Structure 1
Amino acid sequence: MPGAFAVPSSEVPGYSPIYRHPNYKDGSINGEFSDITTLHELFAHTVETRPDEEFLGTREYFPKTGVFGKYQWITTTEANDIVRDFGSGLDSVYATYAPECNSVTDQQAIGIFALNRPEWMMAEFAAFRSRRYTVGISDAVGVESAEQTINTTGIRVIVCSIDKIPRMLDRKSMTPSIEVVISMDNLDCSKPSAVTQAINAETVEQLKAKASSLGVVLLDMDGVIKMGQANPTAPTPPIPSDLCTICFTSGTGGAQKGALLTHKTFIHATRGAYMTGHQKDITYLSFMSFAHIFDRYTIYTFMHDQIRVGFFSGDVTKVLDDMQVLRPNIIAGVPPFLNRIYDRIAAATIGAGGLVGFLSRMGYRSKTSRIRSGGGFKHALWDALVFNKVAKLFGGNIRMLISGATPLRPDVQNFFRVCLSCMVLQGYGQTETAAGGLIQGLDDYSDDNIGMPNPGVDVRLRGIPDMGYNVSDSPVPRGELMIRSNILFSGYLNQSQADLGMMDADGWMATGDIARINSDGSFSLIDRKNNLIKTATVLWIEPGPVEAIYSAHRLVSYVFVYGVERAYELVAIVVPDPESFVPWARIIAKDPEADLVELCKNVDVAGELTKELRKTGAIKRLPAPAMIGAVHLEPNSLNQVRKDFYTSSFKLRRYLVNQHYKPVFDNLYSHLDCVTDPTFSLSGTLSLN
């Protein structure tokens, strides 16, 4: 397929041409599934076209042994019955306990607070049945995050897993709006699961008493379903302009913001993605938090045809075990998760010694050449000798792996193509675009790009001259990625896009991401606009590529760089790789018994490691402003130092890391002679792409 289509005569000063999907040059997505206009209608479509087929699955749990078994399924028809009855029951609950509408619209909100599971999806569709909208709640980065979501939205009714209830009641004073809590798990403890292990009949009675004392109505889903069966109500379906969810951004650039997403937005995003690459008879593993947007977007995309959704067993470190039981053919993940799996598998294959390593590397080169030449993903010899064993770790049935949220390293993308013998596609979207935007085509075997616009999405670049990014740059245009489409959100809760300067008069949203348009018509991300480091030479340094170079050193696990405008060099937080670092550092410290923590405090060790990293920078031809002048050795990974350094979608909050280590950075710079008078300047730009 050709690259993105440049709309003729669409260039204006400071902007690139407008780009669209080459098969939808007029910018529309009329045609297939155009009769589906809301997520309520999408669910009805699934039930109508695939009645009594397996739809939502969870692994059977054996409480005596704590072991998970095979997947057990709810059919589309059974799910529809639950949605109908639970939705009717919710009508009674709201009429009795929370009849008012939230201030956002004339609709009512319902909070959902749990790990991904069938009840999460069915609660959402039950809400849509009566024009309610959902608010996903996450505590992945701390209890305060969940409370902020509840208080910002003023939620009165929450559906949650039973393990969340004790803490919610303990901290009820922090979330005064809550009036009704509906447990996904039976309060009579009749259906044991992994989340009910700490709950028994006595515990439940204590919870009921505490809820009553706090004025909170405590129910369970089965009870609400029985209410609905006893008093069925007719649906009041949403219209496309109705709000369907408030999804809170993961907070990479600051405080979390609640993005307002309508049914029209979600349908346009998912339908456009589906039209990019039709897939049939899908089995999908869901493990990325529903409180965010990516996993729901992926599932709703494939609901345009047929999909079985198997949910992970609750422990992300054991997702491969879930895959081996479910045997999915499509999975989606974010780069940090995929990178961790890559590190483990690559070390045992292409990074191994002896015959295994030799054969793996030979097979890897052969399959890479075959794939890139269009010869297909399979290779009878090398798959049988090496790669089928890797594929079995993922269930042996994967035909598509989708990566989003942040750019996936080219070597990791190609590695999974080779080992899993499948398409590995990178896409791009934000919470503000309902996760839609751009994605690689099914026949795209390249890497280091996010593909081209989905059908119905206009994309262009805006030059940022003061940072050295211009649409006139040679050999390819560079600038801030901008999107115009029906996939755009309606604004943030209590704020509009215009208030934040995100939307221009022609309906274009500024994403804050810097991209380039490649010669083949694809787009590649360079970095976040607000992540660039300005040095004393007035060169803007992209921290991501610099950190990747330093982090590849054998002695380190991760390097985080920091710079200030008054300094000629960077300083860094370095997390060592314990296996290689400790033996090396003991020699430097002349202490064969020193542990990792002691070695990280050793000044001589820090000095020698700085020299090692500078050698790496020189070998990679980094310019002087990108060289590291001093390091602080951190024995713990950043997510161990502070959990909220990473968002629940695994994005690094650079501003929090900078803030936390500011005294350390200041101390490092105080001992360097690379600091200059801040009035000194030399114009220019540094780019590693």
Structure 2
Amino acid sequence: MVNYLGLKNVLAMKLMSQCKKKKKKKNMHHGKLLNYFNLFLFIYLSFVFNFENTKTSTTTNKEQIPSTLLISFLSFDIFSYWFATRPKALKAPCDLRMQSVELPGGEFARRGAVLNGGPLLSHFYEDAKTLYEWFHRGLRESNNGPCLGSRKPKQPYEWLSYSEVIERAENLGSAFLHKGHSKDGDPYIGIFSRNRPEWTISELACYTYSLISVPLYDTLGTEAISYILDKTCISTVVCDVPEKVKLLLDCVSGRQHSVKTLILIENFDTDLVSRAQQCGIDIISLRDAENIGKAHRQHPVATCELSVMMFVFSQGNPKGAMLTHSNIVSNVSAFIYVTKDTHISYLPLAHMFERVVQGVILMHGARIGYFQGDIRILMDDLSTLKPTVFPVVPRLLNRMFDKVNSPLKRRILEFAFRRKENEMKSGIMRRDSVWDKIIFKKVQVIIDLRIVVVFSVVMGHVRMMITGAAPISAPVLTFLRAALGCHFYEGYGQTECTAGSTATIPGDWTAGHVGAPLPCNDIKLVDVAEMNYYAAKGEGEVCVRGPNVFKGYLKDPEKTKEALDEDGWVHTGDIGRWLPNGTLKIVDRKKHIFKLAQGEYIAPEKIENIYIRSEAVAQAFVHGDSLQACLVAIIVPDPDFLPGWAKKRGIEGSYEELCKNKEVKKAILEDIVKLGKESGLKSFEQVKDIALHTEMFSIQNGLLTPTLKAKRADLRDCFRKLIDELYSNIKI
């Protein structure tokens, strides 16, 4: 109950306050429009209220507000607020209706339209053609500003300036030379550490003196590490903690090896030194190494072309992809340019995705803050650092989407989502709309704390997010773009192309594609006749050529010839389709394909990526062979979602009990088959039976590679008995 006169005063104060706020902003056009809207609204409401007061002065209900009038007021106020605060669409760098153009020559190759017919981009700045030069450019751009930051628990970030980083890198690099390393002999330096400033300092030390960095994964086993050490003949490895040193000693103990020196970042004891000496290895601290270099300072020798040895993990032994300064500089130059940004480094630096993002940051004099090394407290690092650039992998995005995709939340969000989706289609990306304030702000705080990106977005600091490394479904990406309201880009690539080969462009917020070719490479599709894909129809295997394409695999000419043809095109093994707007859509996978008994070709990874969209499914392994006429699958249900998912279907129990329940198995099979139909899978691409497995596929149990890709041969061997049982039941 509100008195009409009191309501009029409240409305007048509200509208005048809103107008004053708008006047403070520079957008005078919108401010004037809002004034006109509010003036009209105030006059209209005053007339109606006065009329109603006169009409109902003798009734007992004169204090009531007409509900239809209140609804009209709210609707009109929302519209006026939306219209007045609606930002302009982001200007796209090219025509969004044609983002790539076909090149002459009859190969069906395409080039990004952002180049406007010009040559491929090898570098963007004349003073930044090597990784050494790009860092020094960052020094100049930042005016020796903060560069690398780290923090101790519950403490603020402490920063090293650009000049401090360069000085430490030159000291460490000089120590490498003093130990006998050179670009012509013993050029490889191993880096075996989590993300931290010392990782980047070690990398820059290599660039400064034309040495080659060889990143080692935290999750590598002794077999893979031993292979890499032998393949590269590494004599020096920089490690962060004693546990990594112990793992390296396990790899070389009792056999011939090349390792001579281990440089340890954190403290260590004499027992570790003694054990290393028994293997013929010296251990020194990073501080001592820098002091050695300071006493034997060398002038920079940044001329060597080869810069990084990235080991690619698939079936069999890892392959060493040789990447040059030119490869990385061209790829970094092709991405979005940033200034005065802050980046949170938590994705593994042993992957090129994170390295390229850091390159963009450092080339422009921005700063990088490293997480403390524990993903469980990354939220605390985010709230302290307040990053503006946040790369994220699809796995996190899928979990974010699952958290808000319950039926109740879905109904609440649907209307607001459609309103924001309409703005995105017009090229507008924002997080200050009325829908953000009323609805999506709630979404951004209800997501599980393990999904670490959200807090920083809520705080309004993240302006740009980048996702890649794996496929992400269009509904998930579209929803999160609307809900989070920052510029959200998707890219596609692989290590052999340095990192990225396509990316969505500013202003294009549509989903369902991976963007146009980057300015550093062309893309063509080639026929895959056995899968019925033909380049003339705009479909085929994705091939990439440009200055970002690697030089081959270390000491492996056969594998190099398989991946890199004589014309310089790297064959990715992915199947793509050109869309009418010139963007690329990844639709299938050529590698790991097999033929069923009836002659149909199957790409299991495509099917698995569809099945894991089920709320109940965490992992899937689809199997078939030429002796069988159908597919089966091993499914690992999601322990976080399975109990709630099953309860909705009237089934309760522990995770282990549910995985043994035949009704749960039947329900999951029906759900994934339904998803398959919705995604356009043919009947022969659908599994006919499944088995539920309770243990996640992991690096530790040997079923995933260090890059978290399925070891298909090992999975097949591990589940051979289950697979045979599934086929036996189908035959019955």
Scaled to the shorter chain, the TM-score interval is: 0.7 to 0.9
2:133 is the counterpart of 1:69: no
Q: Which runs of 5+ in 1 are unaligned?
A: 62-67, 188-203, 675-689
SS across alignment from 2:726: helix
Q: Distance in 2 between matches of 1:542 and 1:450?
A: 20
Match of 1:481 among 542, 551, 564: 542
Q: Distance in 1 between matches of 2:130 and 2:100?
A: 29
Partner amino acid, structure 2, of 1:259: A
Query: Alpha carbons of 1:670 and 1:232: their partners in 2 closer, same or farther (altered >3 Å)?
Result: same
Match of 2:278 among 213, 216, 220: 213
Measured after TM superposition, the shift of residue 549 of structure 1 is: 4.7
SS across alignment from 2:380: helix
- Residue identity (%): 27
**Deviation readout 1:456-494 (Å, 9 max, x if unpaired):** 311111011111111233xxx110111111111111111
5 Å matches for 1:645-664?
645-664=703-722
Q: Distance in 1 between matches of 2:368 and 2:256?
A: 33
5 Å matches for 1:588-599?
595-599=654-658
Q: Distance in 2 between matches of 1:499 and 1:552?
A: 35
2:117 is the counterpart of 1:49: no
Contact 1:497 1:503 in 2 (8 A): no
Measured after TM superposition, the shift of residue 557 of structure 1 is: 3.9
Query: Alpha carbons of 1:431 and 1:588: their partners in 2 closer, same or farther (altered >3 Å)?
Result: closer
Query: Alpha carbons of 1:507 and 1:100: their partners in 2 closer, same or farther (altered >3 Å)?
Result: closer
2:536 is the counterpart of 1:472: yes
Equivalent residue, structure 1, for 2:104: 9
Equivalent residue, structure 1, for 2:306: 243
Query: Alpha carbons of 1:417 and 1:505: their partners in 2 closer, same or farther (altered >3 Å)?
Result: same
Query: Alpha carbons of 1:320 and 1:280: their partners in 2 closer, same or farther (altered >3 Å)?
Result: same
Equivalent residue, structure 1, for 2:164: 78
Query: Alpha carbons of 1:53 and 1:622: their partners in 2 closer, same or farther (altered >3 Å)?
Result: closer
**Deviation readout 1:618-659 (Å, 9 max, x if unpaired):** 67775331333221111222238x544334444334443234
Q: Distance in 2 between matches of 1:124 and 1:33?
A: 21
Query: Alpha carbons of 1:599 and 1:214: their partners in 2 closer, same or farther (altered >3 Å)?
Result: same
Measured after TM superposition, the shift of residue 431 of structure 1 is: 0.9
2:416 is the counterpart of 1:363: yes
Contact 1:36 1:42 in 2 (8 A): yes
Match of 2:386 among 307, 312, 327: 327
5 Å matches for 1:516-555?
516-553=577-614, 555=616
Moved more, 209-218 or 446-455: 209-218
Query: Alpha carbons of 1:462 and 1:359: their partners in 2 closer, same or farther (altered >3 Å)?
Result: same
Contact 1:561 1:571 in 2 (8 A): yes
Match of 2:506 among 420, 439, 442: 442
**Deviation readout 1:253-302 (Å, 9 max, x if unpaired):** 543111011111111221122xxx32221111111111221111111123
Contact 1:18 1:460 in 2 (8 A): yes
Measured after TM superposition, the shift of residue 35 of structure 1 is: 3.2
Equivalent residue, structure 1, for 2:72: none
Contact 2:123 2:329 in 1 (8 A): no
Query: Alpha carbons of 1:141 and 1:669: their partners in 2 closer, same or farther (altered >3 Å)?
Result: farther
2:357 is the counterpart of 1:298: yes
Equivalent residue, structure 2, for 1:165: 245
Moved more, 207-216 or 496-505: 496-505
5 Å matches for 1:528-677?
528-553=589-614, 555-578=616-639, 595-601=654-660, 606=665, 610=669, 622-639=681-698, 643-673=701-731
Q: Distance in 2 between matches of 1:334 and 1:155?
A: 31
Q: Distance in 1 between matches of 2:202 and 2:334?
A: 25
Contact 2:635 2:692 in 1 (8 A): yes
Contact 1:398 1:420 in 2 (8 A): no
Equivalent residue, structure 2, for 1:193: none
**Deviation readout 1:35-66 (Å, 9 max, x if unpaired):** 322111111222233233111011223xxxxx
Equivalent residue, structure 1, for 2:38: none
Q: Distance in 1 between matches of 2:264 and 2:390?
A: 29
2:182 is the counterpart of 1:118: no
Contact 1:537 1:625 in 2 (8 A): no
Query: Alpha carbons of 1:616 and 1:233: their partners in 2 closer, same or farther (altered >3 Å)?
Result: closer
Q: Distance in 2 between matches of 1:544 and 1:210?
A: 44
**Deviation readout 1:16-43 (Å, 9 max, x if unpaired):** 2333343252323378403322111111
Equivalent residue, structure 1, for 2:573: 512
Match of 2:258 among 171, 177, 180: 177
Measured after TM superposition, the shift of residue 521 of structure 1 is: 0.2
Q: TM-score, normalised by structure 2?
A: 0.79
Equivalent residue, structure 2, for 1:87: 173
Query: Alpha carbons of 1:658 and 1:10: their partners in 2 closer, same or farther (altered >3 Å)?
Result: farther
Measured after TM superposition, the shift of residue 71 of structure 1 is: 1.4
Match of 1:283 among 332, 342, 351: 342
Q: Distance in 2 between matches of 1:426 and 1:471?
A: 24
Q: TM-score, normalised by structure 1?
A: 0.83
Contact 1:405 1:649 in 2 (8 A): no
Q: Distance in 2 between matches of 1:586 and 1:445?
A: 37
Measured after TM superposition, the shift of residue 550 of structure 1 is: 4.0
Partner amino acid, structure 2, of 1:233: Q
Contact 2:222 2:250 in 1 (8 A): no
Contact 2:614 2:672 in 1 (8 A): yes
Q: Distance in 1 between matches of 2:679 and 2:139?
A: 56
Q: Distance in 1 between matches of 2:361 and 2:116?
A: 20
Q: Distance in 1 between matches of 2:670 and 2:426?
A: 42
Measured after TM superposition, the shift of residue 438 of structure 1 is: 1.2
Contact 1:17 1:460 in 2 (8 A): yes
Contact 2:100 2:111 in 1 (8 A): yes
SS across alignment from 1:27: coil
5 Å matches for 1:221-260?
221-239=286-304, 242-249=305-312, 251-260=313-322
**Deviation readout 1:125-158 (Å, 9 max, x if unpaired):** 1122221111001141433333322222111011
SS across alignment from 1:444: coil
Equivalent residue, structure 2, for 1:151: 230
Equivalent residue, structure 2, for 1:65: none
Query: Alpha carbons of 1:497 and 1:278: their partners in 2 closer, same or farther (altered >3 Å)?
Result: farther
**Deviation readout 1:339-396 (Å, 9 max, x if unpaired):** 233333x25xxx363xx66543332222122112223323431222233452535453
Match of 2:324 among 262, 282, 304: 262
Q: Distance in 1 between matches of 2:424 and 2:671?
A: 37
Q: Distance in 2 between matches of 1:392 and 1:608?
A: 35
Partner amino acid, structure 2, of 1:128: Y
Measured after TM superposition, the shift of residue 664 of structure 1 is: 2.1
Structure ID, larger Rg? 2
Q: Distance in 1 between matches of 2:380 and 2:239?
A: 25
Contact 2:239 2:245 in 1 (8 A): yes
Moved more, 124-133 or 527-536: 527-536
Query: Alpha carbons of 1:661 and 1:25: their partners in 2 closer, same or farther (altered >3 Å)?
Result: farther
Contact 1:535 1:566 in 2 (8 A): yes
Query: Alpha carbons of 1:609 and 1:509: their partners in 2 closer, same or farther (altered >3 Å)?
Result: closer
SS across alignment from 1:247: strand
Q: Distance in 2 between matches of 1:109 and 1:122?
A: 16
Report which of the two has the higher share of helix: 2
Contact 1:51 1:77 in 2 (8 A): no
Match of 1:23 among 115, 136, 140: 115
Aligned residues: 624
Partner amino acid, structure 2, of 1:82: R
Moved more, 623-632 or 327-336: 623-632
Q: Distance in 2 between matches of 1:512 and 1:614?
A: 26
Measured after TM superposition, the shift of residue 228 of structure 1 is: 2.1
Query: Alpha carbons of 1:447 and 1:648: their partners in 2 closer, same or farther (altered >3 Å)?
Result: farther
Q: Distance in 2 between matches of 1:523 and 1:622?
A: 20
SS across alignment from 2:715: helix
Measured after TM superposition, the shift of residue 206 of structure 1 is: 1.4
SS across alignment from 1:667: helix
